[in-house]
Amino acid sequence: MSALGDGMHALVRRLYPLCRSITGNGVRDTLRIIGEHLDLHVHEVPTGAQVLDWTVPQEWNIRDAYIARDGERVVDFQRLNLHVVGYSVPVERTMPLEELRGHLHTLPDQPDLVPYRTSYYAPTWGFCLAQSTLDEMPEGDYEVRIDATLANGSLTYAEHVVRGQVDDEVIVSCHVCHPSLANDNMAGVAVAVELAKSLVNPYYTYRFIFAPGTIGAITWLARNRDRVDRVKHGIVLACAGDRGSLTYKQSRRGDADIDRVMAHVLRDRPHEIREFSPYGYDERQYCSPGFNLGVGSLTRTPYAGYPEYHTSGDNPDFVTPESLVDTLAVCREAVEVLDRNRTYVNLSPYGEPQLGKRGLYESLGGRSDAKDAQLAMLWVLNLSDGTNDLLTIADRARLPFAAVAAAADALHAAGLLKD
């Protein structure tokens, strides 16, 4: 597990420096690196394409940017890409600090951190810097340059599909539009990559979506509108590597299977479960009323819930291998519950069937969890009336889902249950 955590953390570190936005080469470079780990199907959707109520914007790419005085760079995009407001239009001017201030963004309450700012749909330009840097800038003229382009191009997103025994799907969605922000959301990407690699012959088909936030999810929904009914469960992964405990945000439905699964998986861990709100990550797109998919959101410290959020403090040192492994473990357990959950009918419902003559008691001999296994058999037999699935039984019995599923497998093999 230590090696697994180190591997995910190494991927976060590698992806961190890339200048991503909702379009452009930073997204492509990110997907190219993810593609070294997973087989990706990359989609390019042209500028101007109508996607639901939105239009794919022009593509933004940036090569360099700085604020300089007397030939010395005071603010340098090459040192930190957060220094430029995302989607800034090109500019090359000399101006006094008094005029420049209107284009500068700082965090006075966090004077040593650089904020993350964007302006996707309102043409403008700007720089982000530490308040402590601004405080040291003397009055006078500054050379300002943003070497960027806004031109017709495309929006890029990618999918990785693990085919299952059925065509019904579970989607795992991550946004890939943030520049140098390690927890939000390269940590979620790293966990999703490792989760995808771990799936072997699953029951459901698992579709991993790596797309820019908001416009990317909307584009995916628009292009998959005729088959979105295949999506039975889903999770949005973000903020997956900080030291906080886990937080699950329910789907819009509140009682979707994924909501029940995550509540069960998190039951014995420090965690928080929050009700749905139309604010946050792309769960709000998948849960928009026209689609109303059973998609929740899994984070550690949630959206905007930590001081380093959307600042230069969200760097690779803020993410820990241990937290990445813990988030991955919860995702894997959730997948196991989703894939193994069934509803059974007891074929010998009149009185308790004799388990000994079927060799079921003997099969428990020597097991360290023999008591739980025996209880699980009794609970499964009693509640398998065609209305309770295994997850309901596990919750009511306060037993691990794995124990209940194993009991059901044994009882089914003995001819006592019908799927």
pTM: 0.96
Region 59-151: CATH code: 3.50.30.90
Task: Tell me how far apart the alpha carbons of residues 252 and 166 are, in angstroms, rounded to a whole number.
Answer: 25
Give the type of residue at 96. Answer: P
Residue 417: burial class (beta carbons within 10 Å; 0-12, 13-18, 19+): buried
Task: Tell me how far apart the alpha carbons of residues 47 and 210 are, in angstroms, rounded to a whole number.
Answer: 19
Q: What is the CA radius of gyration of the chain?
A: 25
Region 2-57+154-339: CATH code: 3.40.630.10
Task: Tell me how far apart the alpha carbons of residues 43 and 56 are, in angstroms, rounded to a whole number.
Answer: 13
Task: Tell me how far apart the alpha carbons of residues 227 and 205 are, in angstroms, rounded to a whole number.
Answer: 13
Task: Tell me how far apart the alpha carbons of residues 129 and 291 are, in angstroms, rounded to a whole number.
Answer: 40
Q: Please, which residues have CB within 8 angstroms of residue 284's CB and are 6 or more apart in sequence?
A: 278
Task: Tell me how far apart the alpha carbons of residues 318 and 62 are, in angstroms, rounded to a whole number.
Answer: 26
Task: Tell me how far apart the alpha carbons of residues 207 and 166 are, in angstroms, rounded to a whole number.
Answer: 13
Using H for helix, E for strand and C for coil, what is the string for 63-123? EEEEEEECCEEEEECCCCHHHECECCCCEEEEEEHHHHHHHEECCCCCCCCCECCECCCCC
Q: Is 362 left (phi over 0), alpha (psi -120 to 50) or beta?
A: alpha
User: Which residue intervals of the chain bear CATH 1.10.10.10?
Assistant: 343-418
The fold for domain 343-418 equals Arc Repressor Mutant, subunit A (1.10.10)
The answer to the question of whether 184 is labelled as a binding residue is: yes
User: Which residue intervals of the chain bear CATH 3.50.30.90?
Assistant: 59-151
User: Which residue intervals of the chain bear CATH 3.40.630.10?
Assistant: 2-57+154-339
Q: Please, which residues have CB within 8 angstroms of residue 390's CB and are 6 or more apart in sequence?
A: 340, 341, 342, 343, 344, 380, 401, 404, 405, 408
Task: Tell me how far apart the alpha carbons of residues 388 and 378 are, in angstroms, rounded to a whole number.
Answer: 14
370 CA to centre of own chain: 37
Give the type of residue at 317. Answer: D
Q: Is 357 left (phi over 0), alpha (psi -120 to 50) or beta?
A: alpha
> For residue 281, what are its two tokens?
């990550």
User: What is the chain's pLDDT, residue by residue, as a tens digit (419 residues)?
Assistant: 789 999 999 999 999 999 999 999 999 999 999 999 999 999 999 999 999 999 999 999 999 999 999 999 999 999 999 999 999 999 999 999 999 999 999 999 999 999 999 999 999 999 999 999 999 999 999 999 999 999 999 999 999 999 999 999 999 999 999 999 999 989 999 999 999 999 999 999 999 999 999 999 999 999 999 999 999 999 999 999 999 999 999 999 999 999 999 999 999 999 999 999 999 999 999 999 999 999 999 999 999 999 999 999 999 999 999 999 999 999 999 999 999 999 999 999 999 998 888 888 766 555 556 788 889 999 999 999 999 999 999 999 999 999 999 999 999 999 999 99
